[in-house]
Amino acid sequence: MSARTHDMVEQKPEVPTEGLSALGSYTKDYLSRVRGGQLGSIPALAGLIVITAVFAVVHQGFLSAYNIEALVIQAAPIIVMAMGLIFVLLLGEIDLSAGTTGGLCSAIMGVLLVRNGLSWWLALIIGLLAGLVIGLGMGWLRARVGIPSFVITLATFLAFQGVTLILVGGQGSLIIPDTSPLIKLENSFVPLWLGWVLLAVFVLGYAAIKVNDALGRRRDGLSHAPFTVIAAKVVVLAALGAIFTYEMGVNRNLSTNAFFSNKAQGMPWVVVLLVLLFAVWHFVLSRTRYGRHLYAVGGNEEASRRAGIVVNRIRISVFVICSGMAAVSGMVAASLLQSVQSNAGAGNTLLLAVGAAVIGGTSLFGGHGRMIDAVLGGLVVAVITNGMSDLIQGANSAGYEWVVTGLVLLIAAGFDAVVRRGRAS
Amino acid sequence: MTSQPTLELRGVDKSFGPVHVLSSVNFTANAGEVTALVGDNGAGKSTLVKCIGGIHRVDAGEMIFDGTPQVVHDPREAAVLGVEIVYQDLALADNLDIVENMFLGREKVTRLRTLNENQMEKMARQALDSLSVRTVRSVRQLAASLSGGQRQTVAIAKSVLWQSKIVILDEPTAALGVAQTEQVLDLVRRLAEQGVAVILVSHNMNDVMKVADSIGVLFLGRMAAQVQRKDVTQTQVVELITAGRSGDLGLSPAESSGAAV
C-alpha cells in the first residue's frame, strides 16, 4: 500500500509571496478563477464603462458635473434597495414587495411628519421600525408557515400599495417641508473640505485593512495578495474618488452671480450614507459568522442544517434586513422627491433594484452575491435610465427606455445562467 | 488492541412501529482499526449508523463509548462523544471553499468576533497534511471545483480537524472511479493509523477486504457475525451477507431462515 501511496503524492506547489514571481502566480490564480466562472465584478464593471462611454459620446454633457450629481441621487434609492435584496437573493428567495414596503414606510413617516406634526427623527425612526416589523412578518410566514416567498411578497406587494394609497389619499401627495433635515440627504451637499477628508479616510481605511490582512497572512505563513496588487487597487480607488470629489466640487448652480451667491457644490450627502451602508453590510457578509452562514444556507441548506446552523432563523433575518433596507430606500426616495406620492414604491421600483443586483453579479438561484453588486448594478441601471431619458426624445421615449432596460436585464440574467452552467460542468 | 473498544454495542434493538429493523445487535469498533459494516440492502446498516449518530434512539440495548454506557439523544450529543458521520452525499456547500466547508457551523472567531480566517486556513491545511493529502492544490478553492475523491477527502479531513474518536463513512467510494477509490481507501487507512475508530459502511467487497481489520455482517437486522478480516475469505463474507451463515460462522439455520422478519 505504501508504494501506491507514493504514486499518488503530488508535490505541493511552493507559493512564492514576494517579488515578481508572486505577482505572476497571483495573476495566474486570478485568471484560473475567472476561467472557472468566478467572474466577480468584471461583467458589471465592463458594462458600466461601455454604457457610460457610449452615452458620453452620443450625448454631450452626460459626464457634466450636473448630470453626474443627478445620476448619483437617482441611483441612491435603487442601490440601497438592491443592498437589502441581496440578502434575500443569497438564500434563493425573492422579495417582490421591497418597493411597496419602502413606499409604505415613507408614507408612514410622511403622515406622522406632515399630519401629526411629529419631529422628523421620530417619524423617521417609526418608519424604519415599520420596515423591520414587516420583514419579520414576511420572514415568519416564509420560514414557519412555509409559504413560498414569491407568493407572500406578491401579496404584500399588492396590499402595501393599497395601504400607501389609503394613507396618502386619492390623488394627493405628502409634501415634506423644506426645513426638514430629511430633504438635505438628497438635495444638500457635503462641504468641499469635508468631502476630501472623507475621501482620505475612506481610501486610507481601505488601504489599512488590505495591508493589515496581507501582513497577518504573511505572519501566519500563508500566501497573500502581493503588495503591488494592493497598491494598484488603492491607487485606482484614490484616483476614481479624487475625480468624483473634484467634479462634485464644481458649482452646478447656474444662477449663481454677484447677487445670488448660493452655490451647488460638493457631493450629495447621500453618497456618505451609501458608503456607510456598503461598509457595514460588506463587513457583515464577508467577516462575520452570520455572513458565512448566509452563504452556506444559500449554497446547501441541508449541509448547513447538519452543521448546526439554525436555518429558519437565518431565513427570517434576511427578510428583516431586506425590508429594513427597503424602508431606508423609501426614505431616500422621499428625500429625492421632497414628498411621498400616493404611488410611492409601486411600478418599476422593485424591478430596477432586482435588476441592479443581478446585473451586479448576484445570482437569483442563491449562494452567490456581494455588496459591491448592488453599487455597480445600481449605477448601471441609473446610467441607462438617465442616459436614455436624455437621448431618446419624442412621444414614445418612455417606451424605448423600458425596452432597453429590459434588454440589459435579460442580458445580465442570461449571463448569470451561462456562467452557472460553466460552473456546474 | 487489547484495551476496551472505543465503541461497543450490546443487544441493540430498534423497531419502527411493527417492523423490527435491528434485533439484539452486538458490534464493536476499536481505536486504530477499520471496522467494516456490510450487509444487503435493508439489512439495517443505515439504521445502525443513525442510532450511533444519535439520529434514532435505540429501543433496547447498550451503547458503550470508551467503557462508559451512554444514551445518545440527538446528533449534537453524539458529536460531543466524538462521533462524526461522513454521509454519502457529503454535505458540502458548493459555493464555499474548502476551509469554509470544513469549519461550517464551528467557525473560529477573533476577539472582535470576526472570522479568524488565518487560523482556520492553517488548521485546515494541517488536517489535510496529517492525512498526507497532496491532491488538493489550494484550500481556498471552491467545493464546486473539486472532484468526487477530493470532496470525499475534505469530508474525511473534517473529522481529523474535530478530533473525532469514531468516524463513520457511509459508502465513501460508491460514486468514485478506480484511482480515486484507491486514494480514498488510503485515506481511510491513514485515518485509522491516527488512532481513530473508523466504521466503513460499504457494498463493495473489494474495498472491504482491502482495507478492513474487522468485518461486521448484518443479515435481516441481526449481526450474523463480526469476524477478523484475516480469518475469512471473500466468499465466506459474501455467504454471510446473502445467507446469514457460512459453515460454522454466522447465525444458526433456524435464525437465518428469515426469523427476524
Residues of A in contact with B76 (CB under 8 A): 308
- B244 vs A88: which has the higher pLDDT: A88
> A184 to chain B nearest CA, in Å?
35
pLDDT of residue A272: 95
* Residue pair A38/A361 in contact by the 8 Å Cβ criterion: no
Q: pTM score, two decimals?
A: 0.86
pLDDT for residue A14 is more than 50: no
Residue of A nearest to B90 (CA): A303
Q: Which B residues, 113 through 172, put their C-beta within 8 Å of a C-beta on chain A?
A: 113-115, 118-119, 121-122, 132, 134-135, 137-138, 142, 144-145
Single out the residue of B238, B234, B229, B251 nearest to residue B30, CA to CA.
Answer: B229
> A129 to chain B nearest CA, in Å?
26
pLDDT of residue B101: 93
pLDDT tens profile A209-244: 999 999 999 998 888 888 889 999 999 999 999 999
Degrees, nearest 5: CA angle B185-B65-B99: 45
> A309 to chain B nearest CA, in Å?
6
In whole angstroms, give the CA distance from residue A30 to residue A227: 15
pLDDT above 90 covers what percent of chain A?
53
Are the Cβ atoms of A4 and B105 closer than 8 angstroms?
Answer: no
pLDDT of residue A18: 55
Phi, psi of A189 (to 5 degrees): -120, 150
In whole angstroms, give the CA distance from residue B90 to residue B88: 5
Q: Residues of A251-279 as b/e, b for ≥16 C-beta within 10 angstroms? A: ebeeeeeeeeeeebbbbbbbbbbbbebbe
In whole angstroms, give the CA distance from residue A175 to residue A392: 31
Are the Cβ atoms of A36 and B183 closer than 8 angstroms?
Answer: no
Read off the pLDDT band of A141 (50, 70, 90). very high
State whether residue B108 sits within 8 Å of chain A by CB.
no
pLDDT of residue A8: 39
pLDDT for residue A282 is more than 90: yes
Are the Cβ atoms of B105 and A309 closer than 8 angstroms?
Answer: yes
Helices (H) and strands (E) in chain A, counts: 17, 2
Strands (E), B30-76: 34-39, 60-65, 68-70
State whether residue B94 sits within 8 Å of chain A by CB.
yes
Q: Which B residues, 221 through 240, put their C-beta within 8 Å of a C-beta on chain A?
A: none
Q: In the A/B pair of chains, how many CB contacts fall below 8 A? A: 94
* Residue pair A5/B132 in contact by the 8 Å Cβ criterion: yes
Single out the residue of A391, A349, A364, A298 nearest to residue A97, CA to CA.
Answer: A349
pLDDT of residue A423: 56
pLDDT for residue A4 is more than 70: no
pLDDT tens profile A386-415: 888 777 777 777 787 778 778 877 887 777
pLDDT tens profile A83-99: 999 999 999 999 999 99
> B258 to chain A nearest CA, in Å?
36
Residue of A1, A36, A300 lying closest to B91 (CB–CB): A300
pLDDT for residue B254 is more than 80: no
Q: What is the DSSP string of B195-227?
A: T-EEEEE-S-HHHHHHH-SEEEEEETTEEEEEE
ipTM: 0.83
In whole angstroms, give the CA distance from residue A77 to residue A103: 11
Domain B7-88+164-256: top CATH class: alpha beta
Residues of B in contact with A368 (CB under 8 A): 95
Are the Cβ atoms of A5 and B132 closer than 8 angstroms?
Answer: yes
Are the Cβ atoms of B118 and A216 closer than 8 angstroms?
Answer: yes
Mean pLDDT of chain B: 87
Write down the domain spans for chain B. Answer: 7-88+164-256
Are the Cβ atoms of B100 and A296 closer than 8 angstroms?
Answer: yes
In whole angstroms, give the CA distance from residue B200 to residue B194: 16
Helix (H) or strand (E) holding A175: strand A173-175
State whether residue B80 sits within 8 Å of chain A by CB.
no
The three cell numbers locating residue A103:
413606499
In whole angstroms, give the CA distance from residue A96 to residue A153: 5
Mean pLDDT of chain A: 87
Single out the residue of B182, B241, B170, B180 nearest to residue B206, CA to CA.
Answer: B182
> A351 to chain B nearest CA, in Å?
26
In whole angstroms, give the CA distance from residue A373 to residue B224: 60
Residues of B in contact with A26 (CB under 8 A): none
* Residue pair A193/A348 in contact by the 8 Å Cβ criterion: no
Helix (H) or strand (E) holding B249: strand B249-250
Residues of B in contact with A11 (CB under 8 A): 134
pLDDT tens profile B93-133: 999 999 999 999 889 999 888 999 999 999 999 888 888 88
pLDDT for residue B170 is more than 80: yes
pLDDT of residue A298: 95
In whole angstroms, give the CA distance from residue B126 to residue B135: 14
pLDDT for residue A313 is more than 90: yes
